[in-house]
Structure 1
Amino acid sequence: MRTETVAVKSVAPHLLRQIPDDSGTVLVFGAPQGLARAVKLSGRARTVICACPAGTGGMPHGDAVPDRIIELDLENPGLHMPAMAADCVLFDHALEAVSDPVALLRAATEALAPNDRARILAVIANMQHFQRLKALLRGDYQLGDWGSGPVGEKHPFAYSNVYKTFLDAGLWVDRFDRHIPDMCDDDLWQGLAAGVGAARGEAPYMQRHILARDFIVSAGPIAWLKDVGTHRRGLTFAVATNDPMQLKANFRQSPLFRAHTDRFETLVYERAQNAPQVIADAVARARHDIVVWVHQDVYLPHFWADRFLDQWQDAERQFGPIGVAGIFGARRKNGDRDLVGSVVDRFLAGTHGGPLPARVDTLDEIVLAFNKNRPLQLDPALGWHFYGSDAGFKAARDGRAAVVLEAPAYHNSLTGKTLPDAYFDSMRHLCALYPDELPIAASTRLVTGAA
């Protein structure tokens, strides 16, 4: 399963088609005159309940009114959420209007019917939209000028904030669409593109976010989350950084570290020459027996460590001693590569390759976990690429498993599909190291030996 994405010119028709067929109850957070009215008019649900902030629930005029309007303190929804089994919960620009959208999403999840087709849908105004950026550049930003979104935004969203918020709430996004009612003029876009480049982003990749006035999201609860164990076992995390802003916005902001600071050790490396040397140093210095290498642009939800350790133990029972573990990888299958894992990434969001944990040939480098007591000696000449492939092959030659664990994280890369020259240098070196393994199924490509 991959996250689907399309661009649409109109929100309501596209969103209504995503409400499960023959829905009994649809709960809409937002104004009664908005999408709640549209849902009732469409006939997509037998009962439409509108939840709106206290003091704003006046009954709209006309025939297509919600069946019920309830006023809630959306800043504290858990205390006032009525019992129901909704087939769909829809947020009509309501997540931006509260200071804690994660809490509101968790409360909404409790209101869902306990079946696989129950959905959470959300329309979320994009603070990264080019009209907002234009207003900021003019120095006169006016709330509510953008044709959508609440006037009193308390929690603005850009693209990455959406994925992080839903993952924090225990929700898996399976559709991420963009409302693009109009286009940015060429002169403005050229200026914005230059700004994106100066911020170390990739303009063609960022353009699709900047053009979106709103994001339209479909998500469902992560099924296994209720069964995650509680562990006391500590972990050592190692991260190399060349961009303090990326480190702070992602790894450092991970909810995992907010409540368990004594349980985890973090080793941060600046001005590192290559990843294998950093990993070797971290494994040698670590005070815990499992050392987790993480990219600076990876964001770990609050449940990540406990789920990771559940899966690590499952993998040991299934496959024996673990040489290296990750959250995304690949294996060779019928002369091609089979992607394996569960990750939220700019291109690979979704679940791939069947049940997890699973054995693989190679691992993506965004997250790699090693056993301190049996370290692998990775080749420093690989630099910053393909050392996850090196780790997989070395583990196998040592009689240990390279495994992918189902412990999803968000990989918030700034770049698109452009690859540096160093990537191809590392690829050629990998081919020289393992000529008998060609073609090599790596997470980014099938490596055939050609440059």
Structure 2
Amino acid sequence: MISADNITVIAAVNNRQVSESNLFRSPLLSADGVQFITAKGFGAASQAYNYGTAKATGEILIFAHQDVYIPAGWHRQLLAAVAVLDRKDPSWAVLGVVGVDGLGAVKGCSWSTGLGREVGTSVQQSEPAVSLDELILVVKKSSGLHFDDKLQGWHLYGTDIVQEALLLGMGAYIIHAPVIHNSLPVVRLNEDFGQCYSYLCGKWANSLPIQTCCTRMTRFGWPLLKRRIAQMLRTTDRSIHKRLADPTTKARELGYE
């Protein structure tokens, strides 16, 4: 049975203040047997995470944003879900705590400071995914999955690795294991996002359309264009939802720990 000794946490870090206020406060990182790898100085998430994967000793690889707080006891929810999936679908390869199901609905549950609310819909049991939010991704190392080095930037790699798994006949699932994403509001989907979107629309042309947590990938990219226009016409004040000074308080308030 998988235990904490088989867990490796990998994070791309470029802001010490943010990481120390959030991810580094997570009790999981100091749990006995858990390996923690920080990837610094990389120009893309895929490069940072593949670097971490190469150094990982655990079977369960947790890729976490630096502004995520993982509540106390969270790993027990993860390991319980893994135990069920090992029986139900031994070929599972990737998991997430928020994602999109086959009908295009956002499932799973976590707190988003940037949105000022919980996102998703809680799942009672693991549900198949077509896309996963990148705030936390879990990959089974023995699946052999890696992030696409050709995908530059920091967006949509959760969708990409899910599609990679499905193409290879492996499972991708949304599980119930909520975390605190202590993020800032997204003002607009920038050029970096657009480049990731365009690359993946070409790569997965035969699988389109693909619904992600923030937009829909299509042949001509109209959903992204419409969203960008809407964001240009709307003024978003990033100070509306400031980062929580203490994410542990919100985690306890929501019953996450």
Letter in 2 for 1:278: A
Alignment of 1:232-381 (within 5 A): 232-258=4-30, 260=31, 262-333=32-103, 337-346=104-113, 347=115, 349-352=118-121, 354-381=123-150
Structure 2 residue aligned with 1:385: 155
SS, match of residue 432 in structure 1: helix
Letter in 2 for 1:372: K
The runs of 5 or more residues in structure 1 that have no matched partner are 1-229
TM-score of the two chains, using structure 2 as the length reference: 0.78
Tell whether the 8 Å contact from 2:93 to 2:145 is kept in structure 1 after alignment.
yes
Structure with larger RCO (C-alpha < 8 A, sep 6+): 2
More strand by share: 1
Tell whether the 8 Å contact from 1:284 to 1:372 is kept in structure 2 after alignment.
no
Letter in 1 for 2:20: K
| Alpha-carbon distance between aligned partners in 1 of 2:96 and 2:128, rounded to the nearest angstrom | 10
Tell whether the 8 Å contact from 1:381 to 1:426 is kept in structure 2 after alignment.
no
**Alpha-carbon offset, residue 353 of structure 1:** 6.2
Identity of aligned residues (%): 26
| Alpha-carbon distance between aligned partners in 2 of 1:344 and 1:251, rounded to the nearest angstrom | 14
**Alpha-carbon offset, residue 264 of structure 1:** 1.0
The runs of 5 or more residues in structure 2 that have no matched partner are 226-257
| Alpha-carbon distance between aligned partners in 1 of 2:181 and 2:69, rounded to the nearest angstrom | 6
Q: CA RMSD in A?
A: 2.0
| Alpha-carbon distance between aligned partners in 1 of 2:3 and 2:35, rounded to the nearest angstrom | 15
Structure 2 residue aligned with 1:132: none
SS, match of residue 48 in structure 2: helix
Runs ≥4 in structure 1, deviation > 4 angstroms? none
**Alpha-carbon offset, residue 354 of structure 1:** 4.1
Letter in 2 for 1:306: R
Tell whether the 8 Å contact from 2:4 to 2:75 is kept in structure 1 after alignment.
no
**Alpha-carbon offset, residue 416 of structure 1:** 3.0
**Alpha-carbon offset, residue 316 of structure 1:** 2.6
Deviates more, 1:376-385 or 1:428-437: 376-385
Alignment of 1:216-231 (within 5 A): 231=3
| Alpha-carbon distance between aligned partners in 2 of 1:447 and 1:416, rounded to the nearest angstrom | 19
| Cα pair distance change 1:427/1:351, threshold 3 Å | closer
**Alpha-carbon offset, residue 232 of structure 1:** 4.5
TM-score of the two chains, using structure 1 as the length reference: 0.46
| Alpha-carbon distance between aligned partners in 2 of 1:320 and 1:231, rounded to the nearest angstrom | 17
**Alpha-carbon offset, residue 277 of structure 1:** 1.8
| Alpha-carbon distance between aligned partners in 1 of 2:211 and 2:87, rounded to the nearest angstrom | 25
Bigger radius of gyration: 1
Letter in 2 for 1:398: L
**Alpha-carbon offset, residue 282 of structure 1:** 1.5
Letter in 2 for 1:361: V
